[in-house]
Chains A and B, each alone.
Chain A
Amino acid sequence: MTDLTGDTPPPETTAAPKRAGHGLGANLLGWLQAAPLTVILVGFLVAPIIMIVIVSFWGATEFSIYPAFQFDNYEFLFGSPVTYRVFLATFKYALITWALTLCIGFTVAYFLAFHVRSQTMQIALFLLCTIPFWTSNIIRMISWIPFLGRNGIANQTLQDWGLIDAPLEWLLYSDFSVILAFVHLYTLFMVVPIFNTMMRIDKSLLEAARDNGASGLQTLRHVILPLTKPGIMIGTIFVVTLVMGDFITVRFMSGSQKANVGRLISNDIALLQYPSAAATAVVLLATVLIIIAVLLRFVNIRKEL
């Protein structure tokens, strides 16, 4: 394309006035077409974030909030050991959830894309995966509680089988239950993009790999995995962002015994400490953006979008 344009410079001088008029009309139309999305993004995304950043510099007493430009909130945030502990816990949740959803998501997507031969079956099974999404997150979360509780189905079954003598305490209101709920809620966000990328892999590539002597495992490692990377990356961004920003799952599934950054913010808000909440939110946002930026350095997802 570049040499084409280089060969034939547009005859600007002769047709300039007419072109300018035409260009303005086309430009105006273009701006108009872009306007609705711009308005929505500015109004509902950019403006709120700017607001949060501004509020994060405000001051607060026990009973009032006052506009200011001071770094008290950030100083307190970075000065408190709680912050680091909570951020670390959040990273831990994100990392473990990511690893588990990736394993499950990749396996499910692989099964759907390469083992299920008929397309009707593929679509049917794929829709089956989405059925849990017909109910709300909270309900799906809460339904774990009677299952995992001290006298829940899991403990009773295990006791009936004689595998354990006393109920397992760590099943509910623990890191285990929090991560279990995260994995349950977010695995599909990993399945969908990976499945999507896998479906685009030309099946003759797998035959070519076999023709070149690759075993099943080698095909997976040298052909499927590299070609699925963009999907894995998109799923990773989904899951990491969702887990980093979550507070309700941690609250319910840990019985308010565990904390993550989201809960830090929600507690501040409950105490009407908006500036402090805003400062924490800004730090969290920056953290997530840095994570995504690092991820994008590794894999180019542009061709997937």
Chain B
Amino acid sequence: MARSNQLELVQLTKRYGETVAVDDVTHAFPAGAYVCLLGPSGCGKSTTLRMIAGHEEVTEGSILLDGFDISDLPPARRGTAMMFQNYALFPHLNVRDNVAFSLRMKGVDKPTRHKRANELLELVDMGRFADRLPAQLSGGQQQRVALARALVTDPKVLLLDEPLSALDPFLRIRMRAELKKLQRELGIPFVHVTHGQDEALALADEVVVMNNAVIEQAGPAREVFNAPRTEFVARFMGGHNVIATPQGKVAFRADGVRLAGPDAGLPATVTAVEYQGASVALTAATESGEELLALLPEEDFFAAPKSPGEAVRLSWDEGRANRLQA
């Protein structure tokens, strides 16, 4: 238990005047896991992260790291390190000095801190660029430097505030693979704030879905995707249909929906067809006016293509439908 790096939030609350940004959140982050805080903008995920980092004061509750309450400590003494959304590299310092900044603040002598900075730059594969200024680097390179700077203090937890949002889609996919690999190598928990569910699913050992200042659902990525507990989670994770039944609302996966024969399934009218490469997204409106999405394998769809306005019947495996709590 000496170095479990267990991060825990206890009844954490943040108020700005009357507005509640984070409302009584209690959550224990699994040790050594990659955790994604996922939610729409304004759901409180960034505020939560900034409170953990110490850049936002806690209104009520506490943040525990390895059992110690760190809520009142200054950021640098918490054992956390933060990577900022726009990287926040010091524009007047070269890459090596940026990484060595915190060591310099601690009064570490020049050869030692440069040696350590070079080690970290090698870790993120940026050794060649040590003498450049941040403005001379691409977005992806800047991000690696920011990562090295955050890791130079040997943090117990790394906090990442939408680290991939400033990158182009291609680079984003590559960087997230690297983040994941780095996390596995270092073995410390990463807490990563994002509003992209694909990013969260790809990266996270645990996904924490937030909405309206509270945690809607937390669990392993597969569990959250396959068994959303609330309508919000089902809709936000995407790829799900939510319909009202006499027993309450249920959610089921759009890729489980099939075009059925004339006697089976639910009658509906096609409203849109979208070709997506491997699959075709068919949107249809039921008689009660609910919208259903069906992700059909490309081959199946083009064997009997449908166009908007056509009547179809849709069926799905009731057993895989998931009763929603809210």
Give me the interface of A with B, judged by CB distance under 8 Å: 202, 204-205, 207-215, 218, 222-223, 226-227
Contact = CB atoms under 8 A, between A and B. Distances in A.
Interface in B73-88: 74-77, 81-82, 84-86, 88
Across the A-B interface, give the 7 residue pairs with the lowest CB-CB distance, nearest first. A213-B76, A212-B102, A208-B88, A204-B88, A226-B92, A214-B105, A213-B105
A114 to B, nearest CB: 15
B313 interface: no
A211, A222, A227: which has the most chain B beta carbons within 10 Å?
Answer: A211
B149 interface: yes
A223 B90 CA distance: 7
B184 interface: no
A215 B89 CA distance: 17
Nearest to B85: A204
B53 A211 contact: yes
16 contacts: A202-B86, A204-B85, A205-B88, A208-B84, A208-B88, A208-B149, A210-B75, A211-B55, A212-B102, A212-B149, A213-B76, A213-B77, A213-B102, A213-B105, A214-B102, A227-B92
B102 A204 contact: no
Contacts of B102: 212-214
A209, A213, A218: which has the most chain B beta carbons within 10 Å?
Answer: A213
A275 to B, nearest CB: 48
Contacts of A227: 91-92
Interface string B80-110: 0110111011111000000001101110000
B153 interface: yes
A266 B280 CA distance: 87
Contact of A211 (B76, B85, B86, B89): B76
Contact of A207 (B88, B92, B105, B149): B88
Contacts of A209: 90, 101, 105
A213 B153 contact: yes
Nearest to A227: B92
Contacts of B89: 208
Contacts of A205: 88, 90
A9 to B, nearest CB: 27
A212 B93 CA distance: 14
B106 A213 contact: yes
B82 A211 contact: yes
Nearest to A208: B88
Contacts of A226: 92
Given A226-B92, A227-B91, A210 B55 contact: yes
Contact of B84 (A204, A214, A215, A218): A204
B105 A211 contact: no
B76 A210 contact: yes
Given A204-B84, A205-B90, A227-B91, A210 B74 contact: yes
Interface in B27-65: 53-55
A137 B150 CA distance: 52
A207 B150 CA distance: 12
A205 B55 CA distance: 12
Given A202-B86, A207-B55, A207-B84, A212 B92 contact: no
A211 B105 CA distance: 11
B81 A208 contact: no
Contacts of A210: 54-55, 74-76
B98 to A, nearest CB: 9
A202 B55 contact: no
Given A218-B105, A226-B92, A227-B91, A212 B86 contact: no
A212 B153 contact: yes
A300 to B, nearest CB: 11
A212 B75 CA distance: 8
Contacts of A213: 75-77, 102, 105-106, 153
A187 to B, nearest CB: 26
A212 B55 contact: no
Contact of B76 (A202, A204, A212, A223): A212
Nearest to B84: A204
A212 B105 contact: yes
A222 B53 CA distance: 22
Given A210-B54, A218-B105, A226-B92, 8 more contacts: A204-B84, A207-B55, A208-B82, A213-B105, A214-B105, A222-B104, A222-B105, A227-B92
A13 to B, nearest CB: 37
A207 B77 CA distance: 14
Nearest to A202: B88
Nearest to B104: A222
A202 B135 CA distance: 14
